[in-house]
Amino acid sequence: MSFGDPNNPYGQPQGQPNPYGQQPQAPYGQPPQAPQAQPGYGYPQQAQPQPGYGYPQQAPPQPQAPYGQPPQVPQQQAYGYPQQGSPYGQQSGMPGMGGPQPYAGWGARVGAALLDGLIVGVLPTILYIIAGVVTANTVTTVTRPDTSYCGTDYQCISDAYTAANNATSGMPALALILVALAGLITLAGGLFLIAKEGSTGQTPGKKALNIRVVREATGQPLGFGLALGRKICHAVDGPLCGLGFWWPLWDEKSQTFADKIVSTVVVRTQ
């Protein structure tokens, strides 16, 4: 025992554990030291370091994928970012309000055009027929004048036929009125079809056969201006025996030449 040691004033022995299994206390001002784990018999084990205060915690382990399958990486969607879908115009048709819409067939387009022609052209056709009948009756009457009153006077007979020939040089007034009226009705009917096609994409004939003409880029109706331009562009479909009107039979998007010029397509609605 030595009273001269300042670190051991009471003479306690150094390097011996405290009684009752207590761990030795660390000197004042120093952090306590964790006890070392005792390895098991024959297997050396390493102690796992404990993270101190303020250290980042490790993320929990991810669930393991089934045997033989690659692990799946969880995808997180950023808030406010739109989901990516299929590109516009895929799946052999045009996407519309109710999903992808396939292109209309050639037969449906021809049938719709015939129906529209019947609806708009019935009344003008009737007026043209009446005008033709009136003109034919007038010509027959004046080209065969009644010369019974002339007797054998050759000059009287000649004058009668000359007057009849002069009368046939022009169309009767009634026939002119009927032809003009038929033309106005045809023009009004054509503008009506263009307006319906521009606002809704459907004329009466297209609506009956469940098809619609829309913009290729957006799938929206054309508007009156583009619909009118499309009708004018049908002039390029007529040459070469109407090749442009036959083109939808083998075209990938079932388009005529006019459709390609103004970027429109005809799709089915059902």
pLDDT of 270:
77
Among 35, 13, 37, which Cα is nearest to 26's?
A: 35
**Whole-number Å distance between alpha carbons of 37 and 45:** 8
What is the predicted pLDDT for the residue at 89?
40
- Alpha-carbon distance of 160 to 59, in angstroms, equals 117
Compute the distance between CA of residue 81 and CA of residue 91 in angstroms, rounded to an integer.
Answer: 25
Domain positions in the chain are 99-268
Q: Please give the model's pTM, rounded to 2 decimal places.
A: 0.56
Q: State the Cα–Cα distance between residues 8 and 16, nearest whole angstrom.
A: 13
With tokens 């106005």, the residue in question is 184
Q: What is the pLDDT of residue 207?
A: 94
- Would you give per-residue pLDDT tens digits along the chain (270 residues)? 445 555 555 555 555 555 555 555 655 556 666 555 555 555 555 555 555 555 555 555 666 666 556 666 555 544 444 444 433 344 455 554 445 579 999 999 999 999 999 999 999 999 999 998 888 877 665 556 666 667 676 677 677 777 666 655 556 788 899 999 999 999 999 999 999 999 999 999 999 999 999 999 998 999 999 999 999 999 999 998 899 999 999 999 999 999 999 999 999 987
pLDDT score recorded for residue 90: 40
